[in-house]
Structure 1
Amino acid sequence: MNRFIETILAQRLILLVLGIAMIVAGGFAYRSLPVDAFPDVTPTLVQVFTETEGLAPEDVERYVTYPVEVAMNGLPDLAEVRSTSNFGLSVVNVYFEDGTDIYFARQLVNERLQVAAEEIPQGFGEPEMGPITTGLGQILFYYLKDETGSYSLEELRELQDWVVKFNLQTVKGVTEVLSLGGYVKQFQVVIEPQALLRYDLTIADVLEIVEANNANVGAQFLVQNAEQYVVRSIGLAEDIADLDNIVVKTVDGTPVYLRDIAEVKIGGEVRQGLATSNGQGEVVAGLVLKLIGTNTSSVIDRVKTELAKIQTALPEGVKIVPYYDQSALVGQAVSTVTNALMQGVGLVALVIFAFMGGVRPSIVVALSIPFSIGFAFIMMQVLGVSANLMSLGASPLPSA
């Protein structure tokens, strides 16, 4: 053993090169590590959401949640199934054993959802899987600020859903963008009961007629002079006038229009919550969720870059204002660990110099700390451990 150690110590140049290579490789490994504020200890979880229209919790449990739970039983590596049935919403949490690949788990759940959908009564909602994220995936929050005061909550929500959210979901590393506050724009048909009696109609009749007259239909093609002409039947309603002119019935050759039995207006979807800013009124906000395993700081940087581009497409006076940015927390966590590491290197070198009375031993021990940190980063990359306050804080301990 002594001969082995003496042989290694005799090859000083090789040891120096290996040490430098280890430090450089550790630096490259650190750059490729997912950087988070805290370790994500969320279990392998797939959530199934089903939105229903006005069903009580008891009915949601019986007709929606139970069929989904039964369909999930017997999946490979399944740990447990939990559920919550609320008014108009069913949430089923499918937990898998630790170490199960999240994409494999989602594939299994998706296959069983086809079975569950067949057991749910028609009109009670379609089960869908939640985003591929965790509880620590909420990386950036923002709201739309109307500096002119000329935009309604419906208009701001429309900008959020069709401009901001639509473009943010194309950013690499973003799995979902959630919208909060405002009103989802709707064309609301307010039917007059007396008009239904007058024209012998029911609400079901009106609903069926409006649905049938609000769609584009393909009409094949015509061939003329060796040329093919595509025929389109455009019937999709684009404004209130289009809906007002829908014919719901004909009486003695006279058409009865939708405007004759109802008032069509623009309104907001019924909601059960709202978003406020500093208690000064309602706002429309957005939550950006990152994909599991991605680098938080890199994703946030790309989101900020995209937000700057989206800002140029918004109407004048409407601003995107971020109010929570997880990169600040991540930066503070990494800065804390970096400062502790530098202080540790200095203190270790100082203590060794004080007790051993030599500069050379102090330098050797101090240089061993970056070597061990580089090795730790390489192993973190191999084992899939993210760089966070816990993992980085523990890395200098072996050498200190």
Structure 2
Amino acid sequence: MKRYLDFLWENRFSIILATLFLLAAGWFALQGLPESVFPNVDFPRVTVLVNDGSLPVKFMEVEITRPLEALAKGQPGVRLVRSQTGNGLTKLNVYFNPGVNPQTAYLMLQARLSQVRLPVGAQMRVTRMAPYTYPFAEYALVSNQEDSSAMMPTFAFQVRPALLAIPGVYQVQSTGRGWPQVHIDLNPVRLAQYHLTAQQVIDTLRRAQGPFFSGVLHAYHQQFIVATTPRPVDTAHLATLTLPLGPANAEGIRAPLALGALGRVQVGPPPLLTDAAVP
């Protein structure tokens, strides 16, 4: 041991010089190494998204989700199909067996799903999931008292603007049950009392939601047309909304009538059906 230490001490300058050379060589080699935030990993998973905001959940379940599930399960190599159905939204996650070529599976599934006849206005997007597909960070907004639909105002008016204010963030999307829905349960006795039908109430509500012309604004060397849309603060204000549905006078003009006089106005979460199918 003493002989080894004596050797190191006698050749200390050579050893220090060799160490410096190794450190310099390692530093230069490090500069040439390839860098990647998202490694090249193949995920045997394809996501199918069909969007049509005007269709109810039952129609989406029967006319879109079920046919897409049946075709996806019949694709060779498919291991599992998970589906989510909401108002105007159908989402499928198709998982393939290990060893399946992801690119070939994606192209074959896309061609197979194109056989489904979608409703007018519906759009389908088939995406192969990979690390480089969506450069994103995902956060969960949870609560022990409120459901996801009740927290949508917090996300839309507080969380989303704060995230968009961060430099480099160009888009913020939400995944959940969507906004709460207002349910109006019309009373058949009240409708008969005022000689109204449910369709008349629906048509009047559509005409009352605007938008309405409010004026013209000149700013920044441009001309802007200002349109406003009245939005009740809560269900109590919506129940006091007056509509021309009251008794008609001699000229056939109906008197204003509050919406709450025709039924009950309440808020409820949007429906969501979740299903998983194994071929």
* Residue aligning to 2:188: 193
Deviation at 1:137, TM superposition (A): 8.3
Write the distance in 2 (CA, Å) between the matches of 1:191 and 1:175.
40
Change (3 A) 1:24 1:237: same
Q: Equivalents in 2 of 1:60, 1:120: separation in Å? A: 7
Instruction: Report the count of equivalent residues.
Output: 224
Q: Structure 2-normalised TM-score?
A: 0.52
- Higher RCO structure, 1 or 2 (CA under 8 Å, sep 6+): 1
Match status 1:265 vs 2:266: yes
In the alignment, the residues of structure 2 paired with residue 263 and residue 200 of structure 1 have an alpha-carbon distance, to the nearest angstrom, of 18
The 1:59–1:269 alpha-carbon spacing in structure 2 relative to 1, beyond 3 Å, is: closer
Q: TM-score normalised to the size of structure 1?
A: 0.39
Partner of 2:230: 236
1:350-398 deviations in Å (ceiling 9; x for gaps): xxxxxxxxxxxxxxxxxxxxxxxxxxxxxxxxxxxxxxxxxxxxxxxxx
Who is 1:54 aligned against?
A: 58
Unaligned runs of 5+ in 2: 1-18, 250-254, 275-279
Q: Secondary structure at 2:154's aligned position in 1?
A: helix
User: Equivalents in 2 of 1:138, 1:230: separation in Å?
Assistant: 35
Q: Give the match's secondary structure for 2:203.
A: helix
Matches of 1:269 and 1:235 in 2, distance apart?
A: 23
CA distance in structure 2 between the partners assigned to 1:142 and 1:86 by the alignment: 18
Which of the pair is proportionally richer in helix? 1
Where do 5+ consecutive residues of structure 1 fail to align?
A: 1-15, 70-78, 274-400
Q: SS state of the match for residue 59, structure 2?
A: coil
Cα 1:235–1:269 change in 2 (3 A) is same
Instruction: Label 1:120 to 1:90 Cα distance change in 2 as closer, same or farther (>3 A).
Output: same
Aligned letter for 2:187?
Answer: E
Equivalent position of 1:210 in the other structure: 205
Within 1, Cα distance between the matches of 2:273 and 2:134?
25
Aligned-residue offset at 1:33: 2.5
Of 247, 250, 254, the match for 1:251: 247
CA RMSD of aligned residues (A): 5.5
**One-letter amino acid matched to 2:247:** V
Matched to 1:33, the amino acid is S
* Change in CA separation of 1:262 and 1:126 when aligned onto 2, cut-off 3 Å: farther
| Counterpart Cα distance in 1 of 2:266 and 2:126 | 34
Please state how far the C-alpha of 1:255 moved relative to its aligned partner. 2.2
The letter for the 1-side match of 2:245 is K
Counterpart contact for 2:210–2:228, Cα < 8 Å: yes
Change over 3 Å in CA distance of 1:232–1:258 after alignment to 2 = farther
